């Protein structure tokens, strides 16, 4: 009878120098999955490898295969087994299912709720599926993992709130403009944070990113990265009216954008909103701009507060998500146990049915001629008796613990009692 095992390490159990040794490049994922499946005693296999975790997931009839998998991981990392073992976690049965549900939902990630991990889990299992290394039980686990991950994200909205300053800026831009497609962005300066924010906005399909910098060469270089255009630094004022989002992150010790600039820009824009993000210290945008109707000004502290508040919100949602995962694991475990018990239950029913039919035949012969009603009553009596006898053994098999060894022990006992082979 098959059981699930997972051997792996992640950002909490292993430092980056250990993780990077085990990390599997995308191009080698298929080859590694095949190698895991080829190990003695492994019936089904999948490998999950991200920058924060590497996990070997297997189904097997023999739990001793753990040793082989650990050896295999150590040889992949070109390290001693003892050295690697310090960082490994080994999960069995229901814990594997729970772990996968949590991982795919982003609950085990460094940034709780991050959405990329869902896609990475999917990729690991799809690769295994295409290679034919997934057996029935792993296939079921994969399908359920996808469902649970989707449910957690939909029901709790765990990944909806940005937890970094650049993403918080994007989230606020969406709260103001809705879709960002077709908007124009002006990036002032070439600070790291500003560049990153512009990059996130660029990913949202904004129409164009204009870059203004004291060094026009640097502005041109940055603009090329965003398929945008460089603007002369002394022409910022004119450009303000054309842009919907302004990101300031220069090292200038004074305000580059003042109230009269924004007033003028809003008049030209016919009061269409203007979102100003001031990431510079000292600030590049006069704080009085925030009082102008139609202008929304956020500085680095404001955005950090948004990110911090979102972090708290994610923790709260993570608690709701954990409850969903616990319920799903319980239900999935019950389903697996019930499925696992089906062959024994069928055998048990067939065995008792054959006894019933044989004994009924003998009894009817002894009783002699009977009316159809009498014959039906005797048959009904024997069927009901067999059903009553079977009731509790079947119930026990269906509701057995999800611990495979205990389940196997119960099954053996029942088989022995009823004389099944």
Minimum distance of another protein from residue 182's CB (angstroms)? 11
Shortest Å, Cβ 328 to another protein = 16
Question: Are the beta carbons of 307 and 102 closer than 8 angstroms?
Answer: no
What are the C-alpha distances in Å from 361 to residues 352, 392, 418? 14, 26, 21
Q: Near another protein by CB under 8 A, which window of 94-102, 204-212, 301-309, 380-388? A: 301-309
In the complex with another protein, the residue whose CB is nearer, 82 or 178, is: 178
Q: Is 363 part of the annotated catalytic residue set?
A: no
Q: Which residues contact 217 (CB under 8 A, 6 or more apart)?
A: none
* Contact predicate 70/80, CB 8 Å: no
Kindly state the smallest distance separating residue 277's Cβ from another protein, in Å. 13
Nearer to another protein, 273 or 415 (CB): 273
Minimum CB separation of residue 117 from another protein in Å reads 21
Give the footprint of another protein on residues 115-154 (CB under 8 A).
Answer: 154
CA distance 238 to 119: 43
Residue 309 is a binding residue for another protein (CB under 8 A): yes
Alpha helices by DSSP H, listed for 14-64, are 16-22, 29-37
Residue with tokens 């649970």: 148
Query: At its nearest, how many Å lie between another protein and the CB of residue 176?
Result: 5
Burial classification of residue 11, based on how many CB atoms lie within 10 Å of its CB (0-12 exposed, 13-18 middle, 19 or more buried): middle
Q: Which is nearer to another protein, 320 or 379 (CB)?
A: 320
Backbone angles phi, psi at 253, to 5 degrees: -85, 10
Comparison of 305 and 315: residue with beta carbon closer to another protein: 305
Residues 385-414 that bind another protein (CB under 8 A): none
Q: How far is the CB of 296 from another protein (least distance, A)?
A: 5
Whole-number minimum distance, CB 286 to another protein, in Å?
A: 16
- Compute CA distances 365 → 359, 377, 380, 418, whole Å: 10, 15, 17, 26
The residue within the footprint of another protein, chosen from 62, 263, 302, 379 (CB under 8 A), is 302
Task: Find, among 116, 142, 118, the residue nearest to 45 by Cα.
Answer: 142
Which residue's CB is nearer to another protein, number 5 or number 180?
180
Q: How far is CA 172 from CA 168, 202, 209, 274, 290, in A?
A: 6, 15, 18, 12, 15
Strands (E), 24-88: 42-49, 53-60
Joined together, the tokens standing for residue 169 give 């800026």
Q: What's the closest the beta carbon of residue 156 comes to another protein, in angstroms?
A: 8
Interface characters, 278-297, with another protein (x: CB under 8 A): ------------x--xx-x-
**What secondary structure does DSSP assign to 126-185, as a single string?**
HHHHHHT---HHHHHHHHHHHHHHHHHHHHH-TTSS--SHHHHHHHHHHHHHSS-TT-EE
Q: Which is nearer to another protein, 234 or 293 (CB)?
A: 293
Residue owning tokens 């298929």 = 30
Question: What residues numbered 245-284 form the site for another protein, per CB under 8 A?
Answer: 271, 273
Of the two residues 157 and 333, which places its CB atom closer to another protein in the complex? 157
Catalytic site residue from 51, 136, 309, 363: 51
Count the Cβ atoms, other than its own, within 10 Å of residue 272.
12
Instruction: Annotate each residue in 75-114 with x if it binds another protein (CB under 8 A) or - if it does not, as one string.
Output: ----------------------------------------
CA geometry: angle 397, 402, 405, nearest 5 deg: 85
By CB under 8 A, what part of segment 335-354 binds another protein?
none
Number of residues that bind another protein (CB under 8 A): 21
Residue 128 or 247: the one with the smaller Cβ distance to another protein is 247
User: Under 8 Å CB-to-CB from 174, ≥6 apart: which residues?
Assistant: 180, 204
Q: In the range 150-189, which residues lie near another protein by CB under 8 A?
A: 154-155, 157, 160, 172, 174-178
Give catalytic residue positions.
Answer: 51
Residues lying near another protein in the complex (CB under 8 A) are found at 154-155, 157, 160, 172, 174-178, 271, 273, 290, 293-294, 296, 298, 302, 305-306, 309
């Amino acid at each position: 009878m098959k059981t699930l095992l997972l051997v792996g390490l992640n950002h909490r159990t292993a430092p980056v120098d250990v993780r990077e040794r085990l990390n599997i490049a995308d191009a080698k994922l298929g080859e590694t999955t095949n190698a895991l499946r080829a190990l003695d005693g492994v019936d089904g296999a999948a490998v999950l490898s991200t920058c924060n975790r590497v996990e070997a997931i297997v189904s097997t009839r023999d739990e001793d295969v753990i040793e082989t998998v650990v050896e295999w991981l150590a040889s992949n990392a070109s390290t001693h087994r003892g050295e690697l073992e310090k960082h490994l976690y080994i999960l069995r049965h229901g814990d594997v299912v729970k772990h996968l549900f949590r991982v795919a939902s982003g609950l085990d990630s460094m940034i709780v709720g991050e959405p990329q991990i869902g896609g990475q889990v999917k990729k690991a299992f799809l690769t295994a599926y295409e290679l034919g290394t997934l057996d029935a039980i792993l296939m079921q686990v994969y399908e359920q993992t996808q469902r649970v991950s989707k449910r957690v994200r939909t029901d709790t909205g765990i990944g909806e709130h940005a937890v970094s300053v650049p993403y918080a800026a994007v989230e606020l831009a969406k709260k103001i403009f809705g879709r960002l497609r077709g908007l124009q962005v002006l990036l002032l300066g070439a600070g790291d944070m500003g560049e990153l924010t512009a990059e996130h906005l660029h990913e949202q399909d904004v129409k164009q990113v204009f870059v203004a910098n004291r060094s026009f060469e640097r502005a041109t270089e940055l603009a090329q990265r965003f398929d945008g255009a460089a603007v002369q630094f002394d022409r910022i004022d004119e450009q303000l009216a054309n842009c919907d989002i302004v990101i300031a992150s220069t090292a200038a010790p004074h305000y580059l954008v003042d109230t009269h600039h924004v007033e003028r820009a809003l008049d030209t824009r016919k009061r269409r909103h203007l979102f100003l993000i001031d990431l510079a210290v000292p600030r590049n945008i006069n704080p009085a701009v925030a009082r102008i109707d139609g202008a929304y000004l956020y500085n680095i502290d404001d955005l950090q507060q948004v990110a911090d508040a979102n972090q708290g919100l994610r923790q709260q949602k993570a608690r709701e998500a954990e409850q969903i995962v616990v319920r799903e694991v319980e239900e999935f475990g019950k389903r697996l146990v019930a499925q696992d018990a089906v062959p024994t239950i069928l055998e048990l029913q067939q065995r008792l049915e054959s006894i019933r039919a044989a004994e009924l035949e003998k009894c009817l012969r002894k009783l002699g001629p009977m009316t159809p009603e009498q014959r039906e009553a005797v048959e009904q009596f024997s069927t009901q008796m067999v059903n009553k006898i079977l009731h509790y053994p079947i119930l026990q098999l269906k509701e057995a613990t999800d611990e495979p060894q205990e389940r196997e022990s119960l099954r053996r006992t029942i088989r022995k009692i009823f004389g099944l082979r």
